[in-house]
Structure 1
Amino acid sequence: MIYHRPILLTDPARPGGVLPLAGGPLVFDRVEILERGRAPVVVPAAEVEAEYLAPLTAPRPDIAGLALDAPRVMGILNVTPDSFSDGGRHSTLPEALARAQALVADGAEILDIGGESTRPGAAEVDAAEEIARTAPLIDMLRGQGVEVPVSIDTRKAAVAEAALKAGADLVNDVAALTFDPGLADVVASARAPVCLMHAQGTPQTMQQDPRYDDVLLDVYDWLAERLRAADAAGIPRRRIVVDPGIGFGKTVEHNLALIRRLSLFHGLGCPILLGASRKRFIGTLSDEPVADRRMAGSLAIALAGAAQGAQILRVHDVRETRQALALWRAVTEAAETAGQRRQA
């Protein structure tokens, strides 16, 4: 199989003949051709067949009412006692509600609410407990007039169903519909969008010596297979987001390989979500053992993801990420694009 990765241009000076990436402000004029067992080759985009360029250039449909023509910021809200960064801080309903409101005030364009930690080594949570942690919060947010899209971060059909009934808009499944056979039916019946994330192993086992033949291509192929499974279950590609699963069954080098060439995943024809905020590999590379002190490293990775065309950035530090993105876009986008944005 041959893979096509767009090489994106972030300099404001653009040559002629550039192509838009996924209907957004980034452009490319070259493509890296990848194939197992062969060295990569870079060719002009004009030499690539139209059928391979189509998924790279086609605008992405809105997800949960959110336009994806620019990077969007997803704020993380874990209502759990044991999440790796903020576990226990928002485990009561008043605390969780206050945090959700703060994330919205900081500029979160979507809220991702989770009631089960999936950090390495985390234990599984009973569905009833997970529902009790998440559904009342979503219902209260909607009752108070919070209108931003809400994502339910869960692997379980019953949890997703309760959250969608309470007012959630999207299902974010770290198991890509492989953990609970009933989750695909819930998503399809609700006509809800879903994020399919790659993970190797379970939270209990995923960091026990993860191995790949080629992490970039292996993750791509796995996600392509999950897209086919979702389609067979009645979930069309236009309602799917993909996530390479940074930190889920990956070493530091695996994570870096995926982020460096994240633009490959545009070939799947879906929006890309990057969730790397405060994760362990950032601490390893920056010699920072405390998760809460990894904001600077998280911002660096967020901007690296934006430079590869990621449409959704899942972060803890919403205000800071929004500010970093605003400045990054101001200095990297073509002058006419930046001017149009300021006038809008």
Structure 2
Amino acid sequence: MFKDTVFQKKTTLNAGGRLIDLSHPKVMGIINLTPDSFYASSRRQIMEDVLHQAEKMLNDGASFLDLGAYSSRPGASDIFEEEEAIRLIPVVEAIASKFPEAVISVDTFRAGIAESAVNAGAHIINDISGGELDKHMFETVARLQVPYILMHMKGTPQTMKDLAVYDDVFTEVFTYLEKKHYQLKNLGVHDVVIDPGFGFAKTAGHSFTLLNRLRDFEMLGLPILAGISRKRMIYGTLDIPVEDALNGTTVANTIALMNGASILRVHDVKQAVEAVKIFEAVKT
């Protein structure tokens, strides 16, 4: 339906005064500051380990580091805002101090945490809830004038598993992102990245449909983030442990790149960077 239509997609982000060129895909490394994220090897709770992992990811070619202190896996325990801040803010300060070249994203749906993190040195807000779980998030992002990653999810991490019901998953996700972007644009938020929310209130079938139609999201004219790394859609389909899902992740990331992804959000930076390099070599 949309294959022969050309859409002008935004290809830059202004992160802390640095203009990031997304015409060449970039890799975002995940650092989980939680005790219960779904992939145990991504968890980092000791500052020395966090800084070591940040350094490794930057050396492996990550353009962004995404720090999360609230587990968003299905059925994860809810935590108070104070606990999230205790886990997150000192790490943002430490990474910003030790690696001033790092572009730091914070994975939070709370406006207060977002503002504290930006004040501590973060550059990007990555909100799994699209502003649904904190009514002040959009106005906070607009006031801070930072890039915002807008993701689709229904419900909360505690309830989303039971809400994976759609008449047409692509149309519903697209309409949601379009509406939310309109709200952000009217508030003066200039840099928005969209994320279809693979696995968030979606079955594996829903997620594969969105991956197959990822390029159709370019109608929104915004950069696309693909967060597929080691998710159930991969390890469940292959019937393997999450620890063995790197190869499947690389395949899925390559499909995402071929379908227009501008950012790959991953646990394994080196392999994702290599996938981008091969993709770029073929494209040229």
The reply to whether residue 284 of structure 1 matches residue 236 of structure 2 is yes
SS at match of 1:62: strand
Residue number in structure 2 paired with 1:226: 180
The reply to whether residue 319 of structure 1 matches residue 265 of structure 2 is no
Amino acid at match of 2:27: V
The reply to whether residue 273 of structure 1 matches residue 225 of structure 2 is yes
Residue number in structure 1 paired with 2:63: 109
- Cα distance 1:147–1:328, how it changes in 2: closer, same or farther (>3 A)? same
Superimposed CA distance per residue, residues 143-185 of structure 1 (whole angstroms, 9 cap, x where no aligned partner): 1133121100000011111110111000000001111112122
Amino acid at match of 1:92: I
Pick the aligned partner of 1:195 from 149, 153, 156.
Answer: 149
Residue number in structure 1 paired with 2:82: 128
The reply to whether residue 255 of structure 1 matches residue 202 of structure 2 is no
Residue number in structure 1 paired with 2:283: 333
SS at match of 2:21: coil
The reply to whether residue 309 of structure 1 matches residue 263 of structure 2 is no
Aligned residues between the structures = 281
Superimposed CA distance per residue, residues 5-48 of structure 1 (whole angstroms, 9 cap, x where no aligned partner): 34xxxxxxxxxxxxxxxxxxxxxxx2xxxxxxxxxxxxxx4xxx
Residue number in structure 2 paired with 1:299: 250
The reply to whether residue 85 of structure 1 matches residue 39 of structure 2 is yes
CA distance in 1, matches of 2:221, 2:42: 37
SS at match of 2:160: coil
Pick the aligned partner of 1:163 from 111, 117, 122.
Answer: 117
- Deviation of residue 87 (structure 1)? 6.7
CA distance in 1, matches of 2:111, 2:235: 34
SS at match of 2:40: coil
SS at match of 2:133: coil
Report which stretch shifted further, 156-165 or 145-154.
Answer: 145-154
- Cα distance 1:78–1:217, how it changes in 2: closer, same or farther (>3 A)? same
After TM superposition, the score normalised by the length of structure 1 is 0.78
* Structure number with higher relative contact order (C-alpha < 8 Å, ≥ 6 residues apart): 2
Residue number in structure 2 paired with 1:35: none
Residue number in structure 2 paired with 1:49: none
- Cα distance 1:58–1:225, how it changes in 2: closer, same or farther (>3 A)? closer
Instruction: Confirm or deny: 8 A CA contact 2:154 2:163 kept in the other structure.
Output: no
Residue number in structure 2 paired with 1:37: none
Amino acid at match of 2:141: V
After TM superposition, the score normalised by the length of structure 2 is 0.94
CA distance in 2, matches of 1:208, 1:283: 20
Instruction: Confirm or deny: 8 A CA contact 1:74 1:112 kept in the other structure.
Output: yes
CA distance in 2, matches of 1:313, 1:68: 11
Pick the aligned partner of 2:196 from 227, 233, 244.
Answer: 244
CA distance in 2, matches of 1:104, 1:308: 25
CA distance in 1, matches of 2:65, 2:170: 28
SS at match of 1:207: helix
- Cα distance 1:319–1:94, how it changes in 2: closer, same or farther (>3 A)? same
Residue number in structure 1 paired with 2:26: 72
CA distance in 2, matches of 1:135, 1:87: 21
Instruction: Confirm or deny: 8 A CA contact 1:151 1:172 kept in the other structure.
Output: yes
Answer with 1 or 2: which has the greater Rg: 1
Superimposed CA distance per residue, residues 117-150 of structure 1 (whole angstroms, 9 cap, x where no aligned partner): 0000012221111111111111111211331211
- Cα distance 1:199–1:58, how it changes in 2: closer, same or farther (>3 A)? closer
- Deviation of residue 232 (structure 1)? 3.2
Give the fraction of aligned pairs with identical amino acids, expressed as a percent.
36
- Deviation of residue 59 (structure 1)? 4.4
SS at match of 2:202: coil
Instruction: Confirm or deny: 8 A CA contact 2:64 2:103 kept in the other structure.
Output: yes
- Deviation of residue 328 (structure 1)? 2.7
Pick the aligned partner of 1:174 from 121, 125, 128.
Answer: 128
The Cα RMSD (Å) is 1.5
CA distance in 2, matches of 1:146, 1:296: 32
Instruction: Confirm or deny: 8 A CA contact 1:197 1:244 kept in the other structure.
Output: yes
Ranges in structure 2 where 5+ consecutive residues have no aligned partner? none
Residue number in structure 1 paired with 2:2: 5
CA distance in 2, matches of 1:79, 1:89: 6
